[in-house]
Amino acid sequence: MEKWRISRHIVKRSSTSLFKSLLSTNFEKSINTSGSTYKSGRNCNPYVEHYFQCQKRHFQTCCHPLRDYTGNLHASKATNLEHICRIQYKSFGSVATQIQRNPSFSTLNSDDVDHFKKILGEKNVIQDEDRLLTANVDWMGKYKGSSKLLLQPRSTEEVSQILKYCNTRCLAVVPQGGNTGLVGGSVPVFDEVIINVGSMNHIISFDEVSGILVCEAGCILENLDSFLVNHGFMMPLDLGAKGSCQIGGNVSTNAGGLHFVRYGSLHGNVLGLEAVLANGTVLDMLGTLRKDNTGYDLKQLFIGSEGSLGIATKVSILTSPKPSSKNLAFLACKDYLSCQDALDSFTVYLQVYMPLDVGAKGSCQSGEMYQQCWRFAFGLEAVLEMVLCLTCLGLCAKIIQAMTDNSYLSGSEGSLDVATKFSILTSPKPSSKNQLFLLVKIILAVRFMMPLDLGAKGSCQIGGNVSTNAGGLHFVRYGSLHGNVLGLEAVLANGTVLDMLGTLRKDNTGYDLKQLFIGSEGSLGIATKVSILTSPKPSSKNLAFLACKDYLSCQKLLQEAKRKLGEILSAFEFLDSQSMELVLTHLEGVRNPLPPSIYEFYVLIETRGTDESYDKEKLEAFLLRSMEGGLIADGVVAQDINQASSFWRIREGLSEALVKAGAVYKYDLSLPIEKMYSIVEEMRLRLGQSEKVLGYGHLGDGNLHLNISRPNYDDSVLAKIEPFVYEWTSKHRGSISAEHGLGLMKANEIHYSKSPQTVQVMASIKKLLDPNGILNPYKVLPHNILYPEA
Ligand code: FAD
Ligand code: MLT
Ligand code: ZN
């Protein structure tokens, strides 16, 4: 049986010579190895065997890891489906896991089986002993259940019907994917009905512009990756079991895998989810938007919930452009301390010394070598990302300011005192808040930066950022706070302090509750402490201010930028000519860096990296190609930090300019990128030439800021804008709040972006955590859903 396959890892080329010359260590050339084959049902680990022997003595009965331990048998004679134990005990790994079958669960009978056959057809209702044997045993051969039934639904509707029925009959079920789980979660403990969604294995859509893949939950990870290869993309996660595990299983276990260090957690990469609850309700949370801040991000609860909250049936996931080069080094270290030292020196060497020293030493002769160093460094940089506990929420402004004192194009940060870096990296844990504050400041000033940046950075607080799940200008590079917030302390409405302030990059113990608070806009609790993953500060930045003749060119430019600039692309923002005009009119000292012209669109592209000349070369080559291809009509690259600041001022100053101009109807929409600007054009037609309709925003994230600017508020104008803008967004499966939240303005409009079932579950959660509704009332959720009787 070839089911449990460790797939081949493609090692394009080992860079022996490079690292040898850099580190004078012995390297073996790494070779391609073929996949190993693992089979289930192999011999048990002797320690496990020993353990079970002890257990056997303890319970005075037979106990084998591949056999049930059955005590006090009360066989059900009521069925002709073999007798099932009414009360069973199981002991798998520790004394604490002795389990008694829940007597309130029903036992499967022939009527049940007939019913399932009606729903699924004969061949998807499996009673065959051999097939049940495989489905009853886990991958390690350590856990074995005694289910008599395996169901293989082919659609969400079928999953829903199965659960509805099981719920009313009180039949327990176990959701199963590729059955590669390692904690006994995927197999029945007793006689639970197994539901395997492996037949739901269709790719629903793939968008080559955004890299967003939507598929059914039963798709095998490796198949998805193979599909993506043909499109120049790859899955953001990779694990040894990829030949068997299913994406639904990956999401339900919040799988980490081999590339977590680079691509981060599924909490950041899963954009949408469809899940069926125990009562058969289908929760459609299958968004394909990078940003959606309408209410609680419920899907986050299901990520890592191990099938205990619902069955995942469809997943939408952000994939990554496939890198055009890979290197792999296989190293030997004499002890663990050396491994740590090696990691430190690699990172410091490649990120800090290299741009200064390597060229001077004459050992880095070619641009290619530089590129190798940089790519390797990029793979490692995340390893040393510093986790900071920002104990005082008011710090945000200062911290962001400190971090943005970066110099563009100067590369001077590379020359910072390395001794300081070492002392920071090896600093003992600070013992007081003041010390911590100092350390935070030093770290940020020297080496790290916040993953988010927004126009309001001088005033907003980190607690507010988390509570609104703020996106900002560098979301395209550093991703969502759902991926970057590692821990949170929050105070509930009744005063309970929820300490979720972990600082671990990975923690799959139970539901990731903090995710519920990210973006909940103060309606579930007050955030009091945050732990956040910061990013190594780039030592080189470049910024280009470009003009494009039409929206299609902007879109194509984005697509190209993602491909050609890859890992160094850190911002892709756009504004239309009306926005430019408004900024020039209302903000003092702002000038168009391009000669006055008739360009309809302006784009800001920023890169961030560690190698000034390499990054610059890469950006310039990209700009040149795009100009030759007609995607860019005109453009200029900032030559120093002052020019860069003046370019950013145009984009960041828009909100201020709008307020100065008078009244503003402001909408913050997530839309498929190709549709994004159509709403601006339609709105212009709808309102007529007398109204100023502006479009700008975070093009790289599919996030449009649509603004209607006028001297004063007027209800007749508003009536033309709303509900049209919401209906239009909903029709195109967009979100009516990409990053700003719902607040008071859109609390009653949530249904344009969230299904009634989803809103209902949100209301239940709100009632659970804040039964009296004292927290931020009238916001986020419609009042009539929270309090229908009022
Ligand atoms: P506040 O505005 O004070 O509060 C916002 C919400 O969070 C409220 O519901 C409040 O009750 C809740 N809240 C605040 N603190 C806590 C807490 N400690 N615990 C629980 N709930 C809390 N937003 C973006 O996403 N991207 C941008 O690019 C962006 N640019 C902006 C530019 C300008 C010029 C301005 C004025 C705003 C911009 N915003 C942007 C919007 C705003 O800055 C963000 O929503 C920000 O995250 C709000 O943080 P704050 O501390 O100001 O929160
Ligand atoms: C921005 O991106 O500038 C902010 O979200 C604020 C705005 O929409 O005006
Ligand atoms: Zn914004």
- Are residues 677 and 719 located together in one domain of the fold? yes
Ligand 2 pocket test: which of 459, 698, 705, 708 has the largest number of ligand atoms within 8 Å of its C-beta?
Answer: 705
Q: How far is the CA of 460 from the centre of ligand 1 (A)?
A: 6
- The conformational region for residue 608 under phi > 0 = left, psi -120 to 50 = alpha, else beta, is beta
Domain that includes residue 590, residue range: 544-732
**Highest mean pLDDT (candidates 16-20, 167-171, 532-536, 778-782):** 167-171
CB 375 within 8 A of CB 327: yes
In the three-class reduction of DSSP (H, G, I as helix; E, B as strand; rest coil), residue 457 is classed as coil
Q: How far is the CA of 465 from the centre of ligand 2 (A)?
A: 13
CATH number at residue 143: 3.30.43.10
CATH number at residue 634: 3.40.462.10
Peptide bond into 428 cis (omega under 30): no
Q: Report the nearest-CA residue for atom 21 of ligand 1.
A: 522
How many Å apart are CA 437 and CA 639, to the nearest integer?
34
* Residue 260 vs residue 748, higher pLDDT: 748
Mean pLDDT, residues 457-476: 88
CATH number at residue 228: 3.30.465.10
Closest CA to 554 of 615, 486, 630: 630
In the three-class reduction of DSSP (H, G, I as helix; E, B as strand; rest coil), residue 419 is classed as helix
Angle CA(682)–CA(684)–CA(689) in degrees, nearest 5?
150
pLDDT band at 335 (very low <50, low <70, confident <90, very high): confident
Residue with tokens 């430190």: 344
User: Which pLDDT score, from 0 to 100, does residue 85 have?
Assistant: 39
* Residue 789 vs residue 235, higher pLDDT: 235
| pLDDT at position 79 over 60 | no
- The conformational region for residue 773 under phi > 0 = left, psi -120 to 50 = alpha, else beta, is left
In a domain? residue 6: no
User: Which pLDDT score, from 0 to 100, does residue 463 have?
Assistant: 87
pLDDT band at 714 (very low <50, low <70, confident <90, very high): very high
Angle CA(353)–CA(356)–CA(358) in degrees, nearest 5?
75
What six digits make up the tokens of 672? 């498929």
- Are residues 576 and 724 located together in one domain of the fold? yes
User: Which pLDDT score, from 0 to 100, does residue 748 have?
Assistant: 92
Write out pLDDT tens, residues 620-642: 999 999 999 999 999 999 999 99
How many Å apart are CA 597 and CA 587, to the nearest integer?
19
Determine which helix (DSSP H) or strand (DSSP E) holds 274, and give its type and residue range. strand 270-276
How many Å apart are CA 165 and CA 152, to the nearest integer?
15
Cα dist from 37 to 19, 141, 238, 271, 314, whole Å: 32, 15, 17, 33, 29
Ligand 2 pocket test: which of 457, 575, 655, 694 has the largest number of ligand atoms within 8 Å of its C-beta?
Answer: 655
- Are residues 244 and 264 located together in one domain of the fold? yes
pLDDT band at 464 (very low <50, low <70, confident <90, very high): confident
Tell me what percent of the chain is helix, strand and coil, each rounded to the nearest 5.
40, 20, 40
User: Which pLDDT score, from 0 to 100, does residue 618 have?
Assistant: 94
Domain boundary among 732, 754, 772: 732
How many Å apart are CA 671 and CA 653, to the nearest integer?
23
Q: Report the nearest-CA residue for atom 42 of ligand 1.
A: 456
Cβ count near 51 (within 10 Å): 19
Peptide bond into 723 cis (omega under 30): yes
Q: How far is the CA of 699 from the centre of ligand 3 (A)?
A: 10
User: Which pLDDT score, from 0 to 100, does residue 188 have?
Assistant: 94
Closest CA to 477 of 555, 569, 392, 561: 569
> 432: exposed, middle or buried (C-beta count within 10 Å: 0-12, 13-18, 19+)?
exposed
- Are residues 571 and 615 located together in one domain of the fold? yes
How many Å apart are CA 739 and CA 642, to the nearest integer?
29
Say which ligand is closest to the CA of 455.
1
* Rounded percentage of the chain residues whose pLDDT exceeds 90: 49
Say which ligand is closest to the CA of 705.
2
- Are residues 151 and 287 located together in one domain of the fold? no
pLDDT band at 333 (very low <50, low <70, confident <90, very high): confident
In a domain? residue 381: no
Domain boundary among 196, 220, 245: 196
Residue with tokens 């977590």: 260
How many Å apart are CA 237 and CA 484, to the nearest integer?
17
- Are residues 187 and 232 located together in one domain of the fold? no
Mean pLDDT, residues 309-316: 95
| pLDDT at position 50 over 50 | no
Say which ligand is closest to the CA of 454.
1
* Residue 264 vs residue 657, higher pLDDT: 657
pLDDT band at 609 (very low <50, low <70, confident <90, very high): confident
How many Å apart are CA 162 and CA 151, to the nearest integer?
9
Mean pLDDT, residues 487-499: 90
Looking at every residue in the chain, the average pLDDT score rounds to: 76
In a domain? residue 210: yes
Mean pLDDT, residues 726-739: 94
How many Å apart are CA 559 and CA 121, to the nearest integer?
45
Say which ligand is closest to the CA of 740.
1
CB 71 within 8 A of CB 138: no
Cα dist from 3 to 134, 143, 244, whole Å: 11, 18, 7
Mean pLDDT, residues 485-503: 90
Cβ count near 513 (within 10 Å): 15
* Rounded percentage of the chain residues whose pLDDT exceeds 70: 73
Determine which helix (DSSP H) or strand (DSSP E) holds 725, and give its type and residue range. helix 724-731
Residues with Cβ within 8 Å of 271's Cβ and at least 6 positions away in sequence, in order, are 212, 287, 288, 289, 290, 316, 317, 318
Q: How far is the CA of 752 from the centre of ligand 2 (A)?
A: 21
User: Which pLDDT score, from 0 to 100, does residue 727 have?
Assistant: 98
pLDDT band at 426 (very low <50, low <70, confident <90, very high): very low
Closest CA to 246 of 266, 268, 222: 222
Tell me the helices (H) and strands (E) count for the chain, helix number first. 30, 28
In a domain? residue 29: no
pLDDT band at 509 (very low <50, low <70, confident <90, very high): confident
- Are residues 209 and 189 located together in one domain of the fold? no
* Residue 451 vs residue 471, higher pLDDT: 471
- What does the radius of gyration of the chain's CA atoms come to, in whole angstroms? 28
Mean pLDDT, residues 416-444: 34
How many Å apart are CA 628 and CA 635, to the nearest integer?
12
In a domain? residue 132: yes
In a domain? residue 317: yes
In the three-class reduction of DSSP (H, G, I as helix; E, B as strand; rest coil), residue 367 is classed as helix
User: Which pLDDT score, from 0 to 100, does residue 506 have?
Assistant: 85
- Are residues 234 and 282 located together in one domain of the fold? yes
- Are residues 563 and 689 located together in one domain of the fold? yes
How many Å apart are CA 704 and CA 684, to the nearest integer?
15
| Edge-to-edge strand ranges of the sheet holding 387-390 | 387-390, 526-533, 485-491, 497-500
- Going by the DSSP 8-state scheme, the letter that residue 249 receives in this structure is H
* Residue 432 vs residue 490, higher pLDDT: 490
Determine which helix (DSSP H) or strand (DSSP E) holds 657, and give its type and residue range. helix 654-661
User: Which pLDDT score, from 0 to 100, does residue 408 have?
Assistant: 28
Q: How far is the CA of 484 from the centre of ligand 1 (A)?
A: 17
Cβ count near 497 (within 10 Å): 12
In the three-class reduction of DSSP (H, G, I as helix; E, B as strand; rest coil), residue 393 is classed as helix
* Residue 456 vs residue 600, higher pLDDT: 600
| Residues near ligand 2 (Cβ within 6 A) | 455, 654-655, 668, 697, 705
How many Å apart are CA 376 and CA 326, to the nearest integer?
9
Mean pLDDT, residues 483-497: 90
The DSSP result for 537-573, as a single string, is: PPSEEEEEEEEESSHHHHHHHHHHHHHHHGGGEEEEE
How many Å apart are CA 737 and CA 747, to the nearest integer?
11
- Ligand 2: which atom is nearest the Cα of residue 655? 9
User: Which pLDDT score, from 0 to 100, does residue 343 have?
Assistant: 58
Domain boundary among 321, 339, 358: 321
Q: Report the nearest-CA residue for atom 8 of ligand 2.
A: 705
The DSSP result for 325-357, as a single string, is: --B------SSHHHHHHHHHHHHHIIIIIIIII
What six digits make up the tokens of 749? 């409009």
| pLDDT at position 539 over 50 | yes
Ligand 1 pocket test: which of 404, 467, 658 has the largest number of ligand atoms within 8 Å of its C-beta?
Answer: 467
- Ligand 1: which atom is nearest the Cα of residue 473? 28
Number of folded domains in the chain? 3
Write out pLDDT tens, residues 356-413: 122 222 222 333 333 333 333 333 332 223 333 332 333 333 333 343 333 222 232 3
Ligand 1 pocket test: which of 390, 398, 454 has the largest number of ligand atoms within 8 Å of its C-beta?
Answer: 454
Mean pLDDT, residues 246-250: 96
Mean pLDDT, residues 262-281: 91
Strand duo 203-207 + 193-196: pairing: unpaired
Between helices 641-652 and 654-661, what is the axis angle to 10°? Answer: 50
| Residues near ligand 1 (Cβ within 6 A) | 393, 454-456, 460-461, 463-465, 467-468, 470-473, 521-522, 526-527, 655, 739-740, 776
How many Å apart are CA 332 and CA 27, to the nearest integer?
9
CB 668 within 8 A of CB 738: yes
CB 310 within 8 A of CB 203: no
pLDDT band at 777 (very low <50, low <70, confident <90, very high): confident
User: Which pLDDT score, from 0 to 100, does residue 60 have?
Assistant: 27
Mean pLDDT, residues 97-106: 84
- Are residues 190 and 236 located together in one domain of the fold? no
In a domain? residue 448: no
How many Å apart are CA 278 and CA 264, to the nearest integer?
30
In the three-class reduction of DSSP (H, G, I as helix; E, B as strand; rest coil), residue 46 is classed as helix
User: Which pLDDT score, from 0 to 100, does residue 371 have?
Assistant: 35
Q: Report the nearest-CA residue for atom 6 of ligand 2.
A: 655
Q: How far is the CA of 700 from the centre of ligand 2 (A)?
A: 14
* Residue 385 vs residue 705, higher pLDDT: 705
Mean pLDDT, residues 406-421: 27
- Are residues 158 and 284 located together in one domain of the fold? no
Closest CA to 513 of 543, 493, 544, 492: 492
How many Å apart are CA 716 and CA 459, to the nearest integer?
34
User: Which pLDDT score, from 0 to 100, does residue 324 have?
Assistant: 67
Strand duo 540-548 + 485-491: pairing: unpaired
Cα dist from 223 to 27, 111, 197, 230, 531, whole Å: 33, 37, 15, 11, 36
- Ligand 2: which atom is nearest the Cα of residue 473? 2
What stretches of 447-518 show up as alpha helix (H) in DSSP? 462-468, 475-478, 481-484, 514-517
- Are residues 296 and 154 located together in one domain of the fold? no
Closest CA to 493 of 767, 781, 790, 295: 767
User: Which pLDDT score, from 0 to 100, does residue 451 have?
Assistant: 82
Mean pLDDT, residues 547-567: 93
Choice among 61-70, 75-84, 152-161, 454-463 with the minimum mean pLDDT: 61-70
Q: Report the nearest-CA residue for atom 9 of ligand 2.
A: 655
User: Which pLDDT score, from 0 to 100, does residue 586 have?
Assistant: 97
CB 475 within 8 A of CB 452: yes
Q: How far is the CA of 18 from the centre of ligand 1 (A)?
A: 47
In a domain? residue 692: yes
User: Which pLDDT score, from 0 to 100, does residue 379 have?
Assistant: 33
* Residue 196 vs residue 364, higher pLDDT: 196
Q: Report the nearest-CA residue for atom 9 of ligand 1.
A: 521
